[in-house]
Amino acid sequence: MTIHIGAKPGQIAETVLMPGDPYRAKWAAQTFLENPELVNETRGMLGYTGTWRGHSVTIQGSGMGMPSLSIYANELIRDFGAKTLIRIGSCGGMQDKVKIRDVIVAMTASSFSTPSSGIFRELNFAPCADWSLLQAAVLAAEARKVPTHVGGIYSADVFYDERPDLNEQMIRHGILGVEMEAAELYNLAARYGVRALALLTVSDHLITHEALPAEDREKSFGDMVEIALEAAFA
């Protein structure tokens, strides 16, 4: 048990999927895991552990933004022994070729700053995904015939962005999508020597202004969860 995670020793698996929304963690656990058990509800940030094809898996909400994710990822790795952490979330598309419902496999994650910036100081550290997870996720997506894009994403500090000039430069430099957590997850994975990957379903689009209807999100996110599980145990 830690300050933010109420699980007992042995209740957290070495493989952890991390959606931002705790209720999406509940949905994913009840949909994809066998015998899911609620192992954390501290501060309403739900976490469940069950099995998938005989493998132990925890699905733990991370909250919104890098500071919140940093708390949960630090405790999961440091105190509970998590070895593989996969963010499963939504993002805004930033390229014409990226369509609503497509899945982005984040190779790198650019950011203005992260909770780790105080460690790096003047250094612009380049956080990236674990290659084995990235490769396995791409193969799993191809096998499922899910439209997938691999490349860089942007982890923003704010949701209500008022920097159209920055978005223009992100698009110009090939950034596929924008979200709020992956850069810090990749920083922490590098620091602790564990595996990390961010898989993102495009739920809205900064260029076309399309948005995925709420009733369609679960099915689209389901593809992403299954890709994550297959990649974790490839």
User: Per DSSP, what are the bridge partners of residue 148?
Assistant: 103
Whether 161 is catalytic is: no
User: Residue 47 annotated as binding?
Assistant: no
Output the DSSP codes for 120-176.
HTT-----B--HHHHHHHHHHHHHTT--EEEEEEEE-S-SS---HHHHHHHHHTT--
User: Residue 37 annotated as binding?
Assistant: no
The helix (run of H) or strand (run of E) holding residue 74 is helix 66-78
User: Residue 203 annotated as binding?
Assistant: yes
d(CA 204, CA 94): 9
User: Residue 90 annotated as binding?
Assistant: yes
User: Residue 24 annotated as binding?
Assistant: yes
User: Residue 210 annotated as binding?
Assistant: no
d(CA 153, CA 174): 9
User: Residue 4 annotated as binding?
Assistant: yes
Tell me the two tokens of residue 174. 């090939």
d(CA 182, CA 200): 10
d(CA 143, CA 77): 31
Secondary structure E strands in 166-223: 177-179, 195-205
Q: Are 146 and 223 in contact (CB under 8 A)?
A: yes
Question: Residues near 97 by Cβ (< 8 Å), separated by ≥ 6?
Answer: 149
User: Residue 181 annotated as binding?
Assistant: yes
User: Residue 88 annotated as binding?
Assistant: yes
Polymer length of the chain: 234
User: Residue 92 annotated as binding?
Assistant: no
The one catalytic residue in 79, 157, 161, 204 is: 204
User: Residue 43 annotated as binding?
Assistant: yes
Unique residue bearing structure tokens 């396995």: 136
What residue numbers does the annotated binding site cover? Answer: 4, 20, 24, 43, 87-90, 179-181, 203-204
**Residues annotated as part of the active site:** 204
What residue numbers does the annotated binding site for a purine D-ribonucleoside cover? Answer: 4, 179-181, 203-204
What residue numbers does the annotated binding site for phosphate cover? Answer: 20, 24, 43, 87-90
